[in-house]
Amino acid sequence: MNSDKNDKILKFPEGFLWGAATSHFQVEGHPKEIGGSLSDWSQWTKVEGKIFDKSHADDACQFYHRFEEDLSLIKDLNLSAFRISLNWPALVKEDGSLDEGEVDYYKRVLTGLKENGIKTFVTLFHFCLPEKLSMGGGWQNEETAVSFGKFSGIVAKRLEGLVDYWLTINEPLAYVYQGFISGHWPPGGDRDYVAAFTALRNFLVGHSLSYDAIKEHSNKPVSYTLHWRPFFPKNRFSPLDHMVRHYRDQIFNHLFPRAVESGILKFPWPMGGDVIKRIEGEIKGLKGKCDYLAINYYTRELSRFKPAWPLDLFGENSPENELAVSDMGWEIYPEGLYDLLVRQTLPYQTTASGAKRPVVITENGFANMYPPELSEGDWSLKDEQRVNYLIRHLEQLYHAIRGGVDVRGYLYWSLLDNFEWAEGLSARFGLVRVSYPTQERLLRASARVYQEIARNNAIQL
Ligand code: FCB
State pLDDT tens for residues 181-212: 999 999 999 989 899 999 999 999 999 999 99
For β-strands 9-11 and 458-460, DSSP reports them as: antiparallel
Whether 82 contacts 121, CB under 8 Å:
yes
> Which residue CA neighbors atom 10 of ligand 1 most closely?
420
Average pLDDT for residues 345-367, to the nearest whole number? 97
- The average confidence (pLDDT) of the chain is 94
Q: Which of 23, 51, 124, 413 to mutate to test the pocket of ligand 1 (most atoms within 8 A of CB)?
A: 413
| Alpha carbons within 13 A on the beta-carbon side of 311 | 11
Cα(124)–Cα(151) distance, integer angstroms:
9
Q: Which of 63, 171, 361 to mutate to test the pocket of ligand 1 (most atoms within 8 A of CB)?
A: 171
Question: Is residue 436 within 6 Å of ligand 1 at its C-beta?
Answer: no
Question: Is residue 21 within 6 Å of ligand 1 at its C-beta?
Answer: no
Cα(21)–Cα(430) distance, integer angstroms:
10
The distance of Cα 210 from the centroid of its chain, to the nearest Å, equals 18
Residue 275: predicted pLDDT: 82
Average pLDDT for residues 296-322, to the nearest whole number? 82
Question: Is residue 177 within 6 Å of ligand 1 at its C-beta?
Answer: no
In ligand 1, which atom is closest to the CA atom of 421? 10
Average pLDDT for residues 378-385, to the nearest whole number? 83
Question: Is residue 413 within 6 Å of ligand 1 at its C-beta?
Answer: yes
Residue 379: predicted pLDDT: 66
Question: Is residue 59 within 6 Å of ligand 1 at its C-beta?
Answer: no
Question: Is residue 23 within 6 Å of ligand 1 at its C-beta?
Answer: yes
> Which residue CA neighbors atom 4 of ligand 1 most closely?
420
Residue 376: predicted pLDDT: 61
Residue 378: predicted pLDDT: 64
Question: Is residue 228 within 6 Å of ligand 1 at its C-beta?
Answer: no
Q: Which domains does the chain show, CATH number per domain?
A: 9-460 (3.20.20.80)
Q: What percent of the chain has pLDDT over 90?
A: 86
Residue 180, pLDDT above cutoff 70: yes
Whether 332 contacts 384, CB under 8 Å:
no
Dump pLDDT digits (tens) for 222-265. 999 999 999 999 999 999 999 999 999 999 999 999 999 999 99
Average pLDDT for residues 353-362, to the nearest whole number? 97
Average pLDDT for residues 146-151, to the nearest whole number? 98
Residue 308, pLDDT above cutoff 90: no
In ligand 1, which atom is closest to the CA atom of 427? 6
Report which DSSP code applies to 342.
I
- Beta-strand ranges (E) seen in 310-437 are 315-317, 359-363, 368-369, 407-413, 427-428, 432-435
The structure's pTM equals: 0.97
Question: Is residue 363 within 6 Å of ligand 1 at its C-beta?
Answer: yes
* Ligand 1 mean position, distance from CA 298 (Å): 9
* Structure confidence at residue 297 as a pLDDT band (50, 70, 90): very high
Pure H helices in 177-285: 193-215, 239-248, 255-262, 274-279
CA neighbor of 73 nearest in space, from 460, 428, 416: 416
Question: Is residue 429 within 6 Å of ligand 1 at its C-beta?
Answer: yes
* Ligand 1 mean position, distance from CA 84 (Å): 12
Where does residue 311 rank: exposed (0-12), middle (13-18), buried (19+ CB within 10 A)?
Answer: exposed
Dump pLDDT digits (tens) for 403-454. 999 999 999 999 999 999 999 999 999 999 999 999 999 999 999 999 999 9
For β-strands 165-170 and 440-443, DSSP reports them as: unpaired
Average pLDDT for residues 58-65, to the nearest whole number? 96
Dump pLDDT digits (tens) for 15-42. 999 999 999 999 999 988 886 668 999 9
Dump pLDDT digits (tens) for 157-172. 999 999 999 999 999 9
* Ligand 1 mean position, distance from CA 452 (Å): 25
